[in-house]
Amino acid sequence: MTQPLTYFKETPSQTAGPYVHIGLAPNFTEVTGIYDEDLGRTLINDLTEGERLTVTGRVLDGMGVPLKDALVEIWQADAKGLYNSPSEIRGQADPNFTGWGRCPSDMERGVFTFETIKPGSVPFKDGRPMAPHIAFWVVARGINLGLHTRMYFSDEETENANDPVLARIEHRDRVSTLIGERNGNNVTFDIHLQGDRETVFFDL
C-alpha cells in the first residue's frame, strides 16, 4: 500500500559547498582524469575575433574578506554582439569564441580570472541597445541559490548612461557596483555579497 503524499516533508535546502569545486572544477582540486581541462576554463583561441581582455576579481563577504571557495561563471556575447547559442537568431556567432566561462577563486587570494574579449552590444527585450556587459553567476558555501549579476565597463560611460537595465536601478549610487574598472586590457570587478558596497543582484 502506498503512502499518502502528505506524509513526505520538504527536503532541507543545502548550500553549494564545500564540494562544489570537486564536481564542477575537478582539475582545480587535483582530481584528474575526468577532463583534460576543466569545463569553461578557455573562452578564446588564436582565431577569436575581438579585443582581448583579462577580467579579474574577488567575491567578498560582508566584512570585505575574499571567499576562497567561490565559483564564478560568465556568459557574454561575442565582439559583434551575438551569442554562441542555438537560440541566437540574429546571425552566426564567432565559432572561435565559446561565450561561457567558469573559474573557481584561487585558494591564496580568492581571485578569479577570465581571458576573454570585449563583448559587443546586444538588444534589450524591447529592441533598445544595451551597453556591452558580461553576465556573472556566483556560488559558494552559504549561498543557497546562485547569484546573478552583471559587469559593465568603465570606458563605456555614454552607453552605460543609456543602458535600459542600469536605468531601472532605483538607488543610483549602487550602479557603480556593476562597473568593472578597465585599465588597458585588464578589467577589475569585485563582487560584494553584503555590506556598504553590496553588488546589485538580479532575480532571474
**Phi then psi dihedrals of residue 169, to 5 deg:** -80, 115
123 CB neighbour count, 10 Å cutoff: 12
- Indicate if the alpha-carbon torsion angle 75, 117, 39, 18 is positive or negative: negative
Residue 103: φ, ψ to 5°? -150, 125
Q: How far apart are CA 133 and CA 154, in angstroms?
A: 11
| Residue whose entry in the numeric block shows the C-alpha cell 559583434 | 80
Q: What tens-digit pLDDT sequence spans the chain (204 residues)?
A: 565 656 666 666 666 656 677 888 888 888 898 889 999 999 999 999 999 999 999 999 999 999 988 999 999 999 999 999 999 999 999 999 999 999 999 888 899 999 999 999 999 999 999 999 999 999 987 787 899 999 999 999 999 999 999 999 999 999 999 999 999 999 999 999 999 999 999 997
Amino acid at 147: L
Q: Quick one: how far is CA 21 from the chain centroid?
A: 16
Q: Which residue ranges make up each domain of the chain? A: 40-192
- Please tell me the CATH code under which domain 40-192 is placed: 2.60.130.10
